[in-house]
Structure formats: C-alpha cells, structure tokens
Structure 1
C-alpha cells in the first residue's frame, strides 16, 4: 500500500515539483528505514534461532554424557558385584575347608 502511495506521489510530482519531490524523498527514506528495521529484526530472529539450536545441541551432548556416565556406573556395579560374590564364595569355600580340617 505504501509503495502504491509512493508511485502515485511520483506521478503527481510533475505538477508541484518541489513539495512533492521532498515528500516523496521523505516517504522513500521512511520506507528504506522500515525495510532496514525489518531486515535487522529478521537477522535478530535468525540469530535467536541459531542460539536456540546451539542450546539444544548442548543439551543433547549433556544427555549423551549422562547416559555414558550411567553406563559406566552400571559396568562398575556389575564388576564390583561379580568380584564381591566371587570373594564371598572363595571365603565360604576356605571356611568350609578349614572347618572340615578341624573336625
């Protein structure tokens, strides 16, 4: 709509050249400033989207690290449990052997 007004002001500018050309220049400058503001707003939105994507990637990496730590904890628990059960079995075996020797 504003572009149509600018075109109409440019066509009617032949009659009153000085005032119309000044108004047309002001409107054109205003339009350019609005376009620049829109472009800056779009750039800011794109930057915000990029920041959000980076934050999501960081969250995904933290989740992966947490899963790896849980897997490591599971391996440690399994190894300790296995070694302790082996230790208990060997102690029971040696105690049984000791008791049979005393009898």
Structure 2
C-alpha cells in the first residue's frame, strides 16, 4: 500500500492493484512461454534433462501457483538444467551444475 499525491486529490493504492498486476504478469509469462513453443521448433531447442521439459514445467507451475511460483520454477530449472552436469550411470543419478542430485524418476531415461 502506498499513497500518491496529486494536485488536489490523494490516491490510495489498494491490494487489488497488486492482484491485478500479478495476474497480468502471469499472463505475460504464459504468453512468452507459448511464443517460445510457437517460434522455436522442438528440433532447435536445447535438450532438457528432465522428463517434463523446463518450459512445460514452468508453464504448469505458473498456472497453479501464479507468477512468483512460475519465476521460482524458472530459476530452479535454469540453475539445474544446463550444461555442466555429471552423470553417474551405475547409480542412475545426475548431479546438476547447481550441485543438486536427481534420481532416475525425474530424469529422462535416454540420458542414462
């Protein structure tokens, strides 16, 4: 909440403004993901380590948990689904570039 002082009126911003802006940011993020799917063909995209691709994961989390949840999911996937990971084939585990380990339940079987 904050106050804005005009020439003669005092405008008060309620929490409804933040709800509206969060809704608009959610819509913008979802549109950007759909544009990514439409503009960049699957053959040109980087290979994702996870069973559910990073863009699909972020899309679903954004729908379920809102804009901030989608940003957190995007940050998590960016930190853990990029080059620099180690594959431990015997244990069927991947250690991501961010240092987190993932088992075979979340990783695509082709990776092993």
With the length of structure 2 as denominator, give the TM-score of the two structures.
Answer: 0.25
Higher helix share: 1
- The structure having more radius of gyration, on CA atoms, is 1
Higher relative contact order (CA 8 A, sep 6+): 2
With the length of structure 1 as denominator, give the TM-score of the two structures.
Answer: 0.26
